[in-house]
């Protein structure tokens, strides 16, 4: 029997509540699909600052590296807002991504049928099966390039650098093409090649990598057009692959199309088996400790972990189907609609387990 070692980084705010529900669901899936899971907990973010003085203790990095996969709740909160920038909870988040070499961020934007009305986009534009996967390069580009201040025309000015090497583009392109092979076999590469030299290199490289995937249809889109197309006709997309900064912006736009922040999962991958899985939302300090947070984004992150790191496709699909079924009748307060039953964070976890 496969036995997977998972490190839990519950974090701050609602982090522990939502991770506990996701663990319950993972245990139930393990029972049902015949694999075992062992957990180890480690500190990240504000709770790590309180216990050790730093947001990312060495021990946390070591535990994550020694595991098959990592499940993260969320970090941060007002208690740590006055920490210096490099010692804030969010610095721990960037630190762990760097330490694990997580260069690919996967953000699916999927609408569950019963939640269609939560989307700000009209029903006929979304259709019945909108399912976009945004693959964002996570460790390169302008967020990591050289930057500085200087004087221009006698006044202060500032500059940042967008730079990509061929190998950085090749590896993210391969992640996107591999994913497309398991999905709709279409990749849209988003760049600004009409203006930026870094985008021209990006595009040439993606085209070259695409030759390894003759079954996948590749098209290119400028980022400004993509931002427009996402709300005009989101159904046209299967996998979108793009740079760090463009992906940052487009993935937030795409997540709004899906409606509710409490529903959206994400994965960060290193190319090997190890991945870090987390909801896209933050630690929601305003509702922490009240047992009303929506645990579904974290539960769906577990489904992604099963699919992309643990190779348990059937279990992943079963969790997603269970979530869709439960949503027909039960809702946490953030996605509540009249006529349905309002449930707590814990009850939602139990309902998904029961449905599994």
Contacts with ligand NAD, residue ranges (CB under 6 A): 14, 18, 74-77, 90, 93, 261-262, 278, 281-287, 293-294, 297, 334
Q: Compare residues 242 and 294 and give the one whose CB is closer to ligand NAD.
A: 294
Burial of 21 (0-12, 13-18, 19+ CB in 10 A): buried
In the three-class reduction of DSSP (H, G, I as helix; E, B as strand; rest coil), residue 242 is classed as: strand
**In whole angstroms, how close is the CB of 136 to ligand NAD at the nearest point?**
14
Please pick, among 32, 224, 235, 286, the residue that the annotation labels catalytic: 224
Residue 314 neighbours by CB distance under 10 Å: 12
**Nearest to ligand NAD of 78, 127 (CB atom):** 78
From the candidates 27, 178, 248, 350, give the one annotated as an active-site residue: 248
Residue owning tokens 């497309």 = 180
Q: Catalytic pick from 5, 131, 143, 185? A: 143
DSSP β-ladder status, 186-191 and 330-331: unpaired
DSSP 30-41: HHHHT-EEEEEE
81: annotated active-site residue: no
Least distance between ligand NAD and beta carbon 213 (Å): 31
Between CA 319 and CA 107 the distance in angstroms is: 17
Min separation Cβ 278 and ligand NAD, Å? 6
Q: Which is nearer to ligand NAD, 188 or 255 (CB)?
A: 255
Of 55 and 140, nearer to ligand NAD (C-beta) is 55
- Whether residue 105 contacts residue 135, with contact meaning beta carbons closer than 8 Å, is answered with yes
CA–CA gap between residue 130 and residue 112 (Å, rounded): 9
Which CB, 169 or 302, lies closer to ligand NAD? 302
Residue 356: CB minimum distance to ligand NAD, A: 20
Residue 85 CB burial class (10 angstroms; 0-12, 13-18, ≥19) = exposed
Min dist CB 118 to ligand NAD, Å, is 12
Active site residue 224: yes
Q: Please tell me whether residue 336 adopts helix, strand or coil conformation.
A: coil
Taking CA atoms, 82 is separated from 44, 90, 166, 286, in Å, by 17, 12, 40, 18
CA nearest neighbour of 106 among 198, 240, 234, 201? 240
The catalytic residue among 10, 28, 63, 192 is 192
Nearer to ligand NAD, 45 or 141 (CB): 45
Ramachandran category for residue 127: left, alpha or beta (phi over 0 → left; psi -120 to 50 → alpha)? left
Whether 192 is a known active-site residue: answer yes
- Shortest distance (Å) from residue 21 CB to ligand NAD: 10
Whether 124 is catalytic is no
Task: Say if residues 85 and 93 touch (Cβ distance below 8 Å).
Answer: no
Active site members: 143, 192, 224, 248, 252
């Amino acid at each position: 029997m496969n036995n997977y070692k998972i490190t839990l980084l519950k974090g701050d705010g609602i982090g522990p509540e939502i991770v506990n529900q996701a663990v319950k669901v993972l245990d139930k899936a393990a029972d049902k699909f015949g694999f075992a899971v062992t957990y180890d907990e480690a500190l990240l973010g504000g709770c790590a600052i309180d216990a050790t003085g730093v947001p990312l203790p060495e021990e946390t990095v070591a535990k994550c590296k020694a595991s098959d996969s990592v499940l993260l709740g969320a970090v941060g909160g007002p208690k740590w807002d006055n920490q210096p920038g490099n010692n804030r909870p969010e610095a721990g988040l960037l630190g762990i991504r760097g330490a694990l070499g997580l260069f690919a961020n996967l953000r699916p934007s999927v609408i569950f049928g019963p939640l269609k009305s939560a989307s700000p986009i009209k029903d006929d534009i979304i259709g019945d099966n909108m399912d976009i996967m945004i693959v964002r390069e996570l460790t390169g580009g302008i967020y990591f390039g050289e930057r500085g201040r200087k004087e221009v025309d006698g006044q202060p000015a500032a500059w940042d650098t967008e730079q990509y090497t061929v190998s950085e583009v090749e590896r993210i392109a391969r992640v996107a093409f591999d994913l497309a092979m398991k999905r709709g076999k279409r990749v849209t590469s988003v760049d600004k090649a009409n203006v930026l030299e870094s985008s021209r290199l990006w595009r040439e490289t993606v085209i070259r990598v695409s030759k390894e995937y003759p079954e996948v249809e590749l098209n290119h889109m400028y980022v400004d057009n993509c931002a427009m197309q996402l709300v005009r006709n989101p159904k046209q997309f299967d996998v979108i692959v793009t740079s760090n900064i463009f992906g940052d912006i487009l993935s937030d736009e795409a997540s709004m199309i899906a409606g509710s922040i409490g529903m959206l999962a994400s994965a960060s991958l290193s190319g090997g088996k190890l991945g870090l899985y987390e909801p896209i939302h933050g630690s929601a300090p305003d509702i922490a400790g009240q047992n009303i947070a929506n645990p579904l984004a974290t539960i769906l992150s577990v489904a992604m972990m099963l699919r992309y790191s643990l190779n348990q496709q059937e279990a992943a699909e079963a969790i997603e189907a269970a979530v869709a079924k439960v949503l027909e009748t039960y809702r946490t307060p953030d996605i509540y609609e009249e006529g349905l039953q309002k449930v707590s964070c814990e009850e939602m976890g139990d309902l998904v387990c029961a449905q599994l």
